[in-house]
Amino acid sequence: MSMEMEFIRVLPSPQSLMEDYPIKKKYKEIKMERDETIKNIFSGEDHRLALIIGPCSSDNEDAVVDFVSRLAKLEE
């Protein structure tokens, strides 16, 4: 069985996306802090439970934006 694929366009590289859509320093710092927390949970240094949740599918932009907005309000 042969799998033939037709590439419509090449996906941009992560580096290219970061250059095209830079994020504010504040958000980079938040991400770095959260990455460190997650690392500490996985390594056992932090004894909290990590719960990873999210929409099952991201094909509906309105639903994803609604979901993220609700999570942001919980964060506050």
Render pLDDT for 10-28 as a digit per residue (tens, 0 to 9). 889 999 999 999 999 999 9
Give the pLDDT of residue 30. Answer: 95
State how many domains the chain has.
1
Domain that includes residue 61, residue range: 14-75
List of the chain residues with pLDDT < 50: none
* Within a domain: 3: no
Give the pLDDT of residue 10. Answer: 84
Give the pLDDT of residue 54. Answer: 65
**CA-wise closest residue to 55 among 65, 44, 42:** 65
* Within a domain: 6: no
Q: Label residue 41 exposed, middle or buried (CB < 10 Å: 0-12, 13-18, 19+).
A: middle
